[in-house]
A and B are shown apart, each in its own frame.
Chain A
C-alpha cells in the first residue's frame, strides 16, 4: 500500500492559482504515480491509464482556479481520476471484454526471486479477483488498500458518505476473500 497522502506541498495551491509554471510541474511530479496508479488499477491497460492520467492533470490545470481548496490537492486529483476512470469504463466505445481483463495484464512490479512462482500465481489470482469486482467497489478498494487513502479522503474524493465508503469496502473485501480462499 502506498504511504498516506499527507499534506499538500506548502504553498503549492497558491502558486498554482497564480499560474506559476513551475507549480504545475511540481503538482504533476508529486502526484503522477498516485494518479497513474489508480487509473491503471481501474483500467488495466498502461496506455489507457497514461492517457487518463494525463487528462486528469490537464483538467486540474484548467480548473485549479475554480478549486475551492476544501480538500487536499491529492484528494482532488484522486477524485478527478476516479470520475474519468468510471466514465471511461462506462463508455460504449470501450470493449466489454476489457473489464474482465482489467488488471490481469498489470505486471507485478517487484518480482520476488525467492518465491517467484508462488507469488506470481497469487498475484495473478489477486489481480483477477480485484478486476472482477464491480467498478464502484473496486474503486473504493483500490483507493483504500492500494493507494492508502482514509475513509474520509475517499468520501471526499468520490463525493460519497463515509458510511457508503465503509459498506462498499466491506463488500469488496468479502468478495475478494471468497475468491482468494485457497491463498488466504
Chain B
C-alpha cells in the first residue's frame, strides 16, 4: 500500500469505518512509515477540534413559533385574507395609472360645468338647499373619501346616505336634525385639531406618502371642502399659506382660480409635494362635517360635487359588497346597523337598489372578521368583495328575502 492510498483511509479510520482488510493494510503501512504516522496524528487532531465544537441550540421560543406557524388558520381569517389579497398585489404602477386617468377624466369632464355652476350659484341659503352639500362630499372622487383615516372616512358617510333625489326631500326634516346633531358633535374638538390628530394616526403617514392617492384627494379637497372650511377660522390658520386671501374666497371666481391652479398643479405632477396642510383628507373629521355645520351660517358658498346622481359620475364603489338573505328584512337591517355599531363601525347610508334595501356601513378593518362572522348569524351571507388595506371598510349589504 502506498502512502497516498494509506492517507485516503485516515478519515474513515477516525470514524472507525474501515473494513478489517483496510485496517490491516493501514496498520502494516503505518508501522513502517513515520511520515504517514505524523500525517495521521495531524488529521485526528483536526477531527477532534471539529468535534469539540459545541452543538448549537435553537433559540428560546422556537417551538412556539413553529407551532403558531403550523396552526391552521381559522376559516374566517382565511376568508378575510383572501378578500384582502387582491389589493396588495395590485401593481402600484397600474394603480397610479388608473388614478391619474380617473383624475384626468374628472378634471376635463367636470371643470366647465363646475365653473358655470359656481357662477350661477344662488346666494340664498336654506336647510333644504344645504342638505345635498354634505351628501355630495363623500362621493367627490373615486378614491378621495377612502384615503382618510378611520374616524375620517365614516364622518361624511354618516350624513351622506346616497339616497336618490326623490327620497332626499322626504327626509329633509330628519336630515336637518341629523345635521344639527352632527354640528354639535363636530364642533368639539376643533376641526383643525381633529385633522391634526387624524394625520398623526399611524396609518396616515403612508397615505400621505402614497403618490397615486394624492392628486385626487388634493383635488377633491380644493374643490369641495375649501369653501366652507374658509369660514372656519381655525382651519384658515392652518391653511393660510396655501390659500388665496380671504377676500377672494367668497367669490366664485376664486373657485375657478383654484380649480385651474389645482388642475395645473396636477398636470405638473406636483401635488404630492404640497404641504400636507394644503391637502388634508376630504373626509377628515372636521373638514366635511364643517360643511354641514357651517353651511347654515355661510350658505352662499355651496361646495360642489363632481360625482353622484347630479353629475353622472358614479360615487366610489364600496370596499365590500355583500348579499344578506333573511326572512325579515327590516329586522335584519336593524341588526346589521346594530352589529356595525357594536364592532366599532356605524351606518353610513341606506338606499333602495332594484327594490332591495342596501345598507351602507363603515366597518373598522380590524373588526371586519367579527362583523362577517356575526352577520352570518343573521342569515345567508354571500360576499363579493374588493377589499383594500384601508383602516375602515365601506361595506354595502343588500338585504333581501
Contact = CB atoms under 8 A, between A and B. Distances in A.
Contacts of B10: 170, 173
Contacts, number: 108
A169 B54 CA distance: 19
Contacts of A24: 67, 70
Given A41-B56, A151-B17, A173 B63 contact: no
A37 interface: yes
A40 B56 contact: yes
A57 B70 contact: yes
Interface string B13-55: 0110100000000000000000000000011011101111111
A103 to B, nearest CB: 10
B43 A177 contact: yes
B53 A126 contact: yes
Interface in B302-329: none
Contacts of A180: 46, 49
Point out which of B10, B53, B69 has the most chain A C-beta atoms below 10 A from its C-beta. B53
A29 interface: yes
A3 to B, nearest CB: 8
B42 A177 contact: yes
The interface size bin for chain B is 20 to 34
Given A33-B58, A36-B57, A46-B59, A25 B67 contact: yes
A156 interface: no
The interface size bin for chain A is 35 or more
A173 B46 contact: yes
Contacts of B54: 108-110
Point out which of B12, B54, B65 has the most chain A C-beta atoms below 10 A from its C-beta. B54
Interface in B253-302: none
Contacts of A146: 50-51, 53, 55
B11 A174 contact: yes
A54 B69 contact: yes
Contact of A176 (B46, B58, B59): B46
Interface in B47-101: 47, 49-59, 62-63, 65-67, 69-70
B55 A28 contact: no
B247 to A, nearest CB: 61
10 contacts: A28-B63, A32-B66, A35-B58, A37-B55, A41-B56, A50-B65, A109-B54, A109-B56, A173-B46, A180-B46
Interface of B: 8, 10-12, 14-15, 17, 42-43, 45-47, 49-59, 62-63, 65-67, 69-70
